[in-house]
Amino acid sequence: MEQARIIYETLVGDRVCDVHWWRVKKAMTACELNMNKAGFELFLALKNVSPRYFAQYHKVKRQVTSLEPSVGEGVTGEQFVSLLKRLNIEPNQSTISRWFKSCGGFKAKAFYNKTVLIPIIAIALIYKAKNQNNQLAKVS
């Protein structure tokens, strides 16, 4: 377990206190992420894109995995928006811009690689699930 902490601290670029490490391990377990470099990179990217909802990644993990082939090595901004429409996700333009804030903002003609898009797709799927739950609550 100490080796996992060293990997995490290397990616963060700083030593973390015991309480922080305990919370990271708890969140990683809840998100069903592996305690390896790839798992920590995804965890940090999700946390960076959406600090509020990243812990719900485990709910959409299977969908994200099934969408990875359609992303390939990356897509343009326009292709990403069309992918969202195929998934019946229709956020405001400001929401999309907020999702891409960590990578320099959203541009329709820009090319985004897979490592940037996977956390954003996960957040979009969480956004969809959250909106569907809100609509169901309004109906009930």
Alpha-carbon gap, residue 48 to 54, rounded angstroms = 9
- Block residue for tokens 């329709």: 108
Alpha-carbon gap, residue 66 to 137, rounded angstroms = 28
Alpha-carbon gap, residue 121 to 88, rounded angstroms = 13
Mean pLDDT of 22-49: 86
pLDDT for res 138: 62
For the stretch 63-72, pLDDT in tens is 888 888 888 8
For the stretch 120-139, pLDDT in tens is 998 898 888 887 666 656 66
Look at 72 and 36; give whichever has higher pLDDT. Answer: 36
Look at 114 and 50; give whichever has higher pLDDT. Answer: 114
pLDDT for res 7: 94
pLDDT for res 43: 86
Query: CB–CB of 107/139 below 8 Å?
Result: no
pLDDT-above-70 percentage for the chain:
93
Helix (H) or strand (E) run with residue 5 in it:
helix 2-12
What rounded mean pLDDT belongs to the chain?
A: 86
